[in-house]
Structure 1
Amino acid sequence: MEKYIMPEGACRKLKAAKSLGQTAYIYGATGYGKTAFVQKYLGKRRHVYLSCGDRRWDESALWGQGIVVLDDLHLLDEQRRKPVKGLIAHLDTWLVLVSRSPVPSWLMPEYVNMGFIVLSENDMRLGKKEIRSYLDSLGLSYTEEGLRYLVDTAEGNGYIVRHAALRMAEGLSPGPKMYQEIHNAFSRYLEENIMVQWDSELLEFLMQVSVVEEFTLPLAELITASRLASVMVQKAVETGNFLFQEDGVYRLRPVLLHALREQAVQVLGEEQVKTCAKNAGIYYEMNGQFALALEMYERSGNQGQIRELLIRNARMNPGAGHYYELRRYYLRIGEDEAEKSPVLMAGLSMLHSMLMDPEKSEFWYGKLAKFAKTAQGGAMREAQSYLCYLDIGLPHRGSRDVLKIMLRAPAMLLDQGIHLPEFSATSNVPSIMSGGKDFCKWSRSDRTLARTVGPLVERVLGRYGKGLVKAALGESLYEKGEDNYEVLTLLARAQLETECGGRQEIAFAAVGQRVRLMVLQGELASANALLNSFQSAVEEEKAVQLMPNIQATRCRLSLYAGDLQAVSQWLANAPDEDKEFITMERYRYFTKVRCYLAIGENLKALALLEKLSEYAKRCQRTYVGMEAGFLGAIARRRLGTDWEPLLRAALDEAESYHFVRLITELGPAVLPLLKAQGRDSPWFRQVMEEVRLTAKQYPRYLKPQSTSAGNFSKTAREVLRLQSEGLTATLIAERLSMKPDTVRYHIKENYRKLGACDKVEAIAAAKSLGLI
């Protein structure tokens, strides 16, 4: 590259290596300008340059030289390694090693004992400053937007920057078209100039694993039908810096992956590539990664395995299955094909209900009912069991007839030999009342139902029912603000029952309510510790479907703690409601609403709450409707729009069930709204008492930090400090030699800046900002 601009950081490192006489080890993938960098640095200085790809030189070429550059070290044959190792210890020679791979294993003893100064690929990357200088040196015109695009897409690779400069000289501007052209050209360059140098066995291995985006060693072994995956991976690492590993998962560079896939079709043939894809699909299916498995089966053209996997997934409950992820495969099934399988018909009925399309859901329910009337033997029993399952579990039907169905179920199960399919009462949410179904109505008779119907429900649901009744009763009593000790006893016993052959989903419901109770009592540290312990148990049991909502619960604790950094990290990976609204994500959506309120994104909160409210109406989700009502009123008040009707409706609904904690947990965010209400029932007095307590414990909860310590004068801080010591405005005026009205003005301004309603909130907020 005749106009090569040296990366400043790399230049400093190489200068340091020269001044210290330490071996310099430079590595990076093809195109990062390693050779050009060394040549430009050395310039006209006397040195020996040798390529390890050239087999004509031997040991005699190394000795008696002041500066020796060994390029393409990854191509060095084993016979010439010993003299290179010897040269590293030679004090009169400064050695510069250039390779495509990090320090290889055969050089590790010298690296550890002698110490190399390593210039990695990151050091060799051209930054914005270098790219700008390079374009300027060629006299090319560009916009700041074009430069930014080139910096973002080139990843500091000199080859890409140079190619882009050539195309810019021809009048093409940086953008998607140029990027695709350069990407394809670089891919061809790798095929024709780099991959041809590789060992044939390594190349075949990489072509085979290129059917997947990333791989583990067990996956690579299954794809390649070989136990040499670890050997091949080590060889790949020492061949070039194109394979990255994190937590046992390997990824190839995208441009190389593209080149390998192109070559695989030509060299291996389409049938072998399909076989590799099928093998990958088998691995993914064995490990419960159904979406990836179906993608591989589709690529291999294996329609039979696609159908079998869809049936297998449909046998799972919505919490454990992958209905949303696989919906495009389900919706592609022809009606005639689906009618052959009662499991597929049940799965389609459940999926359409989850997609809030009750008409299509009932269509497939009707198809299944028709099938059950004409089927015989095992097919008839299977169809009847799925009809019972859908009667209980279809989301759009609500919970109005669930109790009647449960009462009929034992006779059907015992008399007709029918087994109820896998069922979950929680849908992976840490709640039973607002879990797979909405059971608010049952709360009005919670103790009676637990005593009379509870044993029957547990019997019908089998291992999915262990601990369910105690967890449900504990949650109901907690919501109604009843005795905390009784609540804790029920929840602890429920969790214990799940440990005796039950399910972690029910345990999560119990743990989730215990966490809420601890938060209410001001025990955030204990709540976090409990959640950590439960997460460890979930990880051991590999109940991965619970992890997203466990992380959401952790985020809710961060909101109480005022840890907005943790909140931001969670938000970065939260589900995107604007891309698609998924009803199974409702718990994470409500967590996201709270995050939006905490950071002042009230419009976003309200937009998401509108979707949740619509879902609540369509699927008879009473609890979801109330929660959306309270949070919506908070958001509307902050936006200056009409909020009182929404709050009144939510309060009326909550009072009809005597629900307290749903409101009190909102603490300072809902307190100003409640103060404006003219209610005076015993229930409302209990709500107000608990809301004030929560506001005192967590004064900044869901309140955006609209101020900082710098917004307060020395006098304002002193007023806050004296208030925290219990002094009145009059006493503060005497202490500071000020007029009482002036002190009151400072107090009023402090409250406004802190978003506080009274002295207690102001002092707590001031402490959180480090003002006192």
Structure 2
Amino acid sequence: MKHLKEIYIAPREALKKLRAARRLGQTVYIYGATGYGKTELVKRYLANRRYHHFSCGEGTAGLGNVQEREWKELAGEAGGKEHKAVVLVDDLHMLKNKEGRKIVLEWSKKQEVWLILVSRSPVPSWLMPLYVKEGFLIISEEDLNLKEEEITDYLTAEQIPFTGEEAAYIREKSQGNAYVIRHTILRMKEGLHPGDELTEEIESAFADYLENFILMQWDTDLLEFLMQISVVEEFTLPLAEMVTGNCRVSELLEKAEEAGNFLFCTNGVYRLRPVLIKALRKKAAKRYGSKGMMDYTYNAGLYYEMHNQIVPALEMFERCGRRERVKELLVRNARLNPGNGHYFELRHYYLQMGEEEAEGNVILMAGMSMLYSLLLQEEDSEYWYGKLKDFAEKAKGGQKREALSRLVYLDIALPHRGSVDIIQIMKRVPSLLFDRGIFLPEFSVTSNYPSTMNGGKDFCEWSKEDRKLAATIGRLVERVLGRYGKGLVKVALGESLYEKGGDTYEVLTLLTRAQMETEGGGMMEIEFAAVGLQIRLNVFHGEMQTAKALLHSFETKAREQGAVQLLPNIEALKCRLALYEGDKDGVEAWMKTAPDEGKEFYVMERYRYLTKIRCYLSMGEYLKAQSLLEKMRYYTEKFKRTYIRMEVNLLSAMTKQRMGGAWREDFLAALRKMCEYGFLRLASEEGAAAQELFAAESKAFWEKELPDKQWRTRLMAETGKMAVRYPVYLKRQLAQRPDFCETALDILRLQAEGLSVNKIAQELGMKAETVRYHTKENYRKLGVAGKTDAVLAARDLGIL
């Protein structure tokens, strides 16, 4: 980090490694992007030592001159017991010629030299053989970035008032970059506070710095390529070739990787740092003008369209002003069912479209009806259904056939209409459509949910006569739905029997046969329902490893066959298995990818929302759980979702009981409805979490409230078995375990030993003010007011 009134806070991990390398006499390779304080760290460390500093940005003449000197003489000048000459080679990423590289390689082999190499990029290919053979000590960008405790030390040293939230915010937004942190602290000294406005100001200033001082150091061909590809946030090799029209993309990407630590690649997808993209776009606007950049944007849109990536394609076409292409893609998307389409993501495109623009297009009218239903706006959905119906009455030929097909599709699929009349509708389909040579469009039965009874629609009522319906209308359903219904009847019957605690072998037979039917030309979403139920069955019987193996196999298949629409719910199902095992790391990792219900609520995310509620319960975040439950409750009431309403009541009872609220009404509502349908597994699968509610009341209470003795006895027995098999499932926590830094933990440990603030400061080699700051933050995170309570709470959480 640069000087700020002579105050310098070193990144501790990097300094620790540098000292270790000095003791060992090991070559050091330091790398990180601009602003991470690479050179400053070395200069500060070597401040009281003699050393030789060479910058590759100034050419290689200096390197050649040193080559002529006597290394033993230099070692003698270095002094000290190590008797090694200290040589710092800076800006190594700018060393392009073979002569200079040869000199560096020779230096690294000399016993009398301690070599420190500083670069913006990871170890380049020309150094890799030596690195593998000799082994450098690597100080990476991760080591260089300043952690929250170092930022608090810096703020304290500057005597700037701050809160723990502000220090955490600076760490998050700066990513530990010393340049950004220094700029932030300068502005805080002027009276500003960390926030979005200050972050935007600093990011813009940093982007200007990159544009004016860093980009100009790059080769022209590399800079042009990166400016052109900056129209997208991330890219693959084929996308980059199409956007830029450049056949040397692979070569340029290699050059980019050695120019600095700004390009990242994961599974073939490249990403540039956001601040660099901002700098590149500013420079590109000056170089190519808006018209030139539109051409590259259009190329990106074409690529996305060719690869059926509708959402980014629309974004590109809108940015370059190609409105006609936007409408074409909206029509294409509206042809898809909600499980495969992108209705919610593209809603603003549909909603900003004029009514007259959609009125003459059958696909768009049907799409608008479906979209409004998904947005919980039934009246608007029916309005567009009426528009389509009026159009069908007047239309002729192909347009009439298309309109009739879409009307029947909406009759069956509109979410807000429920499932009451579906049997009668399906009975009419052959005469309405098939006899006229008309067929239903693409259909989604499950909405990518691992369930058929609780998938696109709620079919709890059908469960009351499951065997009869399977035998009587099963063939009709599969005929009407065609390939979209292959295996459906067997999965639905298997699911209904499983929920009621039916014979395991019969359930398994139905599910495996259904899976085989889907493999013969059916849909993977039906197969997902079959596999998902097999996983539940295995979990229920304590076969967790079998369940995980089944899910892994299906996930692999889904990825290989490009069924990406299933992946979010596959990941959610993985998280549910992690909850049973008490795998907190797995749960926390999934939560980072979970949909944000605070930002927007989308009914197609219901499986992930219900998974997230369980995660909230396991983490002790009960208010968040209840807030999301109320949103789900509203949805179940509007869309007549009986099964999810039972599930919501069950989870709500758990949440309220843990918060000390009135929980019995919700719990009894769920159980009574379950008893009506004969369902057991919805509650018994909750194991220890549900058993806690049963244990909260007397046997007499349950006998009175749940008079069906046979059903009640079996439910409690199954719940007890699940509680024994998975004792940590949704286990309540006294508090959420915060993310304590190492310094905070050291302070807690020393407090537990009875040390005072001043003695802790002396023990840890820091100022008393810093100890007080961490102590205050520890109390806040633990939700306590004093030292004794903090130590007890920390022990309860298992961090002491």
Query: Does the alignment reach a TM-score above 0.5?
Result: yes
Query: Of residues 57, 64, 84 in structure 1, which corresponds to 2:61?
Result: 57
Contact kept, 8 Å, 2:155 with 2:162, in 1: the verdict is no
Q: What is the aligned partner in structure 1 of residue 573 from structure 2? A: 553
TM-score, normalised with respect to structure 1: 0.86
From the superposition, tell whether residues 82 and 132 of structure 1 become closer, same or farther in structure 2 (CA, over 3 Å): same
Q: Does 1:29 align with 2:24?
A: no
In the alignment, the residues of structure 2 paired with residue 275 and residue 645 of structure 1 have an alpha-carbon distance, to the nearest angstrom, of 62
Q: Secondary structure at the match of 1:98?
A: strand
Change (3 A) 1:462 1:97: same
The 5-angstrom pairing of residues 736-747 of structure 1 reads none
Out of 395, 398, 401, which is 2:415 matched to? 395
Give 2:578's aligned amino acid. S
Q: Compute the displacement of 1:520 (Å).
A: 2.4
- Alpha-carbon shift at residue 18 of structure 1 (Å): 4.2
The residue correspondences of 1:215-364 to structure 2 (distance < 5 A) are: 215-364=235-384
**Who is 1:90 aligned against?**
110
Look up the equivalent residue of 2:722 and give its one-letter code: T
Which SS does the other structure have where 1:502 is aligned? coil
In structure 2, the residue matched to 1:78 is 97
Structure 1 residues 111, 648: CA separation in 2 closer, same or farther (over 3 Å shift)? closer
Cα deviation, residue 424, structure 1: 1.1
8 Å contact 2:28–2:117 — kept in the other structure? yes
Distance 1:15 1:630 in 2: 57
Contact 1:663 1:691 in 2 (8 A): yes
Query: Residues 106 and 599 from structure 1, CA distance in 2 versus in 1: closer, same or farther, beyond 3 angstroms?
Result: closer
State the alpha-carbon separation in 1 of the partners of residues 229 and 667 from structure 2.
57
Question: Displacement, 1:129?
Answer: 6.2
Equivalent residue letter for 2:732: P
CA pair 231-661 structure 1, distance change in 2 beyond 3 A: same
Check if 1:525 corresponds to 2:554. no
The percentage of aligned residue pairs carrying the same residue is 54
SS of alignment partner, residue 360 of structure 1: helix
Q: Note if contact 2:404-2:433 (Cα within 8 Å) is conserved in structure 1.
A: no
Which deviations, in whole Å up to 9, do the C-alpha atoms of 1:153-188 show, x marking residues without a partner?
443434334444554555555554443333222222
From 675, 690, 699, the counterpart of 2:718:
690
Name the CA shift for 1:641/1:96 in 2 (closer, same or farther; >3 Å): closer
Range that drifts further, 652-661 or 637-646: 637-646
> Aligned Cα RMSD in Å?
2.8
1:335 Cα deviation after fit = 0.3
Alignment gaps of 5+ in structure 1:
708-768
Distance across 2 between alignment mates of 1:642 and 1:172: 46
SS at match of 1:49: strand
Instruction: Say if 2:366 and 2:388, in contact at 8 Å, map to a contact too.
Output: yes
- Mapped partners of 2:244, 2:681: distance in 1: 56
Taking a change above 3 Å as real, the CA distance of residues 433 and 124 of structure 1, as seen in their structure-2 partners, is closer
Matching residue's letter, 1:77: K
d(CA) in 1 for partners of 2:462 and 2:154? 72
C-alpha distance in 1 between matches for 2:16 and 2:722: 56
1:437 shift after superposition: 0.9
Q: Which residue of 2 aligns with 1:404?
A: 424
For 1:26 and 1:239, the matched residues in 2 are separated by 14
Rounded Cα–Cα distance in structure 2 between residues aligned with 1:663 and 1:85: 68
Number of paired residues? 709
Q: 1:532-560, CA deviations, whole angstroms, 9 ceiling, x for partnerless residues?
A: 22222212112111122222222222333
What is aligned with 1:591?
Answer: 611
Larger mean CA deviation between 608-617 and 386-395 belongs to 608-617
SS in structure 1 at match of 2:344:
coil
Deviations, residues 592-651 of structure 1 (Å, cap 9, x unaligned):
333333444444333333322222221122222222233333434444444444444434
Hey, what does 2:162 align to over in structure 1? 143
**Cα gap change, 1:521 to 1:176, in 2 (>3 Å):** closer
1:90 Cα deviation after fit: 3.1
Which secondary structure does the structure 2 equivalent of 1:670 belong to?
helix
Structure-2-length-normalised TM-score = 0.83
Counting only pairs closer than 5 Å after superposition, residues 615-694 of structure 1 correspond to structure 2 as: 615-671=635-691, 672-673=693-694, 675=699, 676-677=701-702, 678=704, 679-694=707-722
2:784 match = none
- The one-character-per-residue Cα deviations of 1:551-596 (angstroms, maximum 9, x if unpaired) are 2222222333333443333333322323222211222222233333
Contact kept, 8 Å, 2:580 with 2:726, in 1: the verdict is yes
SS in 1 for 2:53: strand
Between stretches 351-360 and 30-39, larger displacement belongs to: 30-39
Provide the C-alpha distance between the structure 1 equivalents of 2:48 and 2:255, rounded to a whole number of angstroms. Answer: 36
Separation in 2, partners of 1:183, 1:212: 19
Partner of 2:14: 10
Whole-angstrom CA distance in 2 between matches of 1:176 and 1:669: 41
Q: Is the 8 A contact 2:674 2:680 kept in 1?
A: yes
Residues 195, 688 of structure 1: CA spacing in aligned structure 2 closer, same or farther, 3 A cutoff? closer
Secondary structure of the residue aligned to 2:58 is coil
Deviations 1:130-171 (A, max 9, x none): 65666677x664435555554444434343344445545555
**Residue identity in the other structure for 1:181:** E
Tell me how far 1:669 sits from its aligned partner: 3.4
> How many angstroms does 1:88 deviate by?
2.6
Query: What is the aligned counterpart of 2:519 among 499, 510, 529?
Result: 499
Deviations 1:417-439 (A, max 9, x none): 21211001111111111111111
Aligned counterparts of 1:608 and 1:133: Cα–Cα separation in 2: 39
- Give 1:235 shift: 0.4
Q: Could you tell me whether the CA contact under 8 Å between 2:408 and 2:440 is conserved in 1? A: yes
| Distance of 1:96 and 1:693 partners within structure 2 | 62
**C-alpha displacement of 1:207:** 0.6
In structure 2, relative to structure 1, the CA distance for the partners of 1:700 and 1:466 (3 Å cut) is same
Q: Secondary structure at the match of 2:612?
A: helix
Taking the TM superposition and a 5 Å limit, the aligned residue runs for 1:440-459 are: 440-459=460-479
CA distance in 1, matches of 2:444, 2:604: 13
